[in-house]
Chains A and B, each alone.
Chain A
């Protein structure tokens, strides 16, 4: 991985996924086994907080959107970055993928770093949500 791509990877893990960086180990993964329960009872595994479950191959996806935080990387100088989010469906899960590319003016040309942001297991979705058509719109 070249230096510019590595900076994207560090910024994504440290500033977006909130993973502490440890010498000799890199980003420290989340360890909680208990997913977050949302208002509607969805069980969500968040990368950086939870031990992320294994998942099936990404099948169908669509873009959720993008934004540009002014401080995607702190440093001298710091850098803004382009954050984008995609929603993916697999055989057994729903997955959100996040991508971060730091500003080329400060970081140079690079490929965006990408990782799973959050995951929901289909078999952990409550019957009431699964049967509600609005859940799938």
Chain B
């Protein structure tokens, strides 16, 4: 969990201008722990956005 939270801080800035995983078509990933963190990052990002949108309505 410590490693994941440390990576999520970085992924937030690395993927600041990407909305979701589908936007990373030209990026290459390996089937490793890092990819799991990337998936987790976008899941969290989309959840936060959904809550944000719901609050605006």
Is there an interface contact between B1 and A132, defined as CB atoms closer than 8 Å? yes
Q: Chain B interface (Cβ within 8 Å of chain A)? A: 1-3, 5-10, 13-14, 26-30, 32-35, 37-38
A–B complex contacts, Cβ < 8 Å, 18 sampled: A38-B8, A40-B1, A40-B5, A64-B7, A66-B32, A67-B27, A67-B28, A67-B29, A67-B35, A68-B29, A70-B26, A85-B34, A94-B2, A94-B3, A118-B9, A129-B2, A132-B1, A136-B1
Known: A38-B8, A67-B29. 12 other contacts (CB 8 A): A18-B13, A38-B5, A40-B1, A63-B32, A64-B34, A65-B29, A65-B34, A67-B30, A94-B6, A117-B10, A118-B6, A136-B2
Q: Chain A interface (Cβ within 8 Å of chain B)? A: 16, 18, 36, 38-40, 42, 44, 46, 63-70, 85, 87, 94, 96, 98, 117-118, 120, 125, 129, 132, 134-137
